[in-house]
Structure 1
């Protein structure tokens, strides 16, 4: 029964990461099109736009910051798997569980802690670009740091839950075979 509740919570977190990831994936097309427009305006018509250049940077930041949880969900994050690939399902679950608890979660908390004043000050000042003609929403761009932390933390909790389920089910399976 408890595993069912945990499985539902994991599914909700996975769904949130999936929706966010698929949504920001469309920003990559936007980045390409706006980058093309910037090049065409600059070299075809000698028109430069700081705002468009910053917009590309903001969108690019969104793709990476908001796509991290999606990447984790799909197990596409960077991993040195010299040994991992040879582990059993149970062994992989232990590696994933311990890695998430002792590496991912502390890093998320650390990033949040060290960015706290940085983002809050930006919001207090309603920080805008220092460039003439730049965007007036630098504080929103800096808020992506917190969104990265939140989405990764939630997906990390889902990964913890998923691996607890795998370990519990493999233990039940082993006990079933033993009797």
Structure 2
């Protein structure tokens, strides 16, 4: 079980790193969106390529951010119902949900997404819009995102089993509540280091 917990930590670290990096993609998407709007309305000029890069970036944020969200336990839940149960029962509900819903759905989308992306890569698929971009990078995000989500699902299952066996504290998978004061203190600390 210790080997599985070690693998779980590595999966968590990978998705944490990717999730933080993908936050920058959101900033870039907002800047491109704003710049495109200024150019379009200010100079009556634009390109479909700029619109498409925006949705590529938003797709990256969504697909690569989902495993990060699951890792931080920030995903959509039924806390209104499960909050009434003991922590142990909540963990069993999580395990049931991961095994019955998350893993099968992510595996199915991964199974269907790989040939979908591969076909686009082989054909060097281009957008049908004038001035559009190549399409395969966006389609490749689907299997990559769902592979990372599948891995994170396995990590969450390992952590829940570790908790049930008494090998892990619940803090390893509980939602990390950060107050605004904590965020401000972290920013101040980061600025002092630099």
Which residue of 2 is the match for residue 128 of structure 1?
A: 126
Matched, 1:141 2:138: yes
Which residue of 2 is the match for residue 151 of structure 1?
A: 148
Q: Using CA pairs below 8 Å that are at least 6 residues apart, which structure has the higher relative contact order? A: 1
- Counterpart pick for 1:44 among 29, 33, 42: 42
Q: 1:70-149 counterparts in 2 under 5 A?
A: 70-136=68-134, 138-149=135-146
Q: Secondary structure at the match of 1:59?
A: helix
Which residue of 2 is the match for residue 162 of structure 1?
A: 159
Kindly tell me the number of residue pairs found equivalent between the two proteins.
167
Query: What's the offset of the Cα at 1:150?
Result: 0.6
Rounded to whole Å, the distance in 2 between the matches of 1:32 and 1:107 is 30
Query: What's the offset of the Cα at 1:85?
Result: 0.9
CA spacing shift, 1:8–1:116, aligned 2, 3 Å: closer
More helix by share: 1
Root-mean-square deviation (CA), in Å? 1.3
Which residue of 2 is the match for residue 174 of structure 1?
A: none
Rounded to whole Å, the distance in 2 between the matches of 1:101 and 1:113 is 17
Bigger radius of gyration: 1
Rounded to whole Å, the distance in 1 between the matches of 2:6 and 2:115 is 35
List structure 1 runs of 4+ shifted beyond 6 angstroms: none
Please say which of residues 64-73 and 106-115 is displaced more in the overlay.
106-115
Query: What's the offset of the Cα at 1:96?
Result: 1.1
Structure 2: tracts of 5 or more residues without a match: 168-194
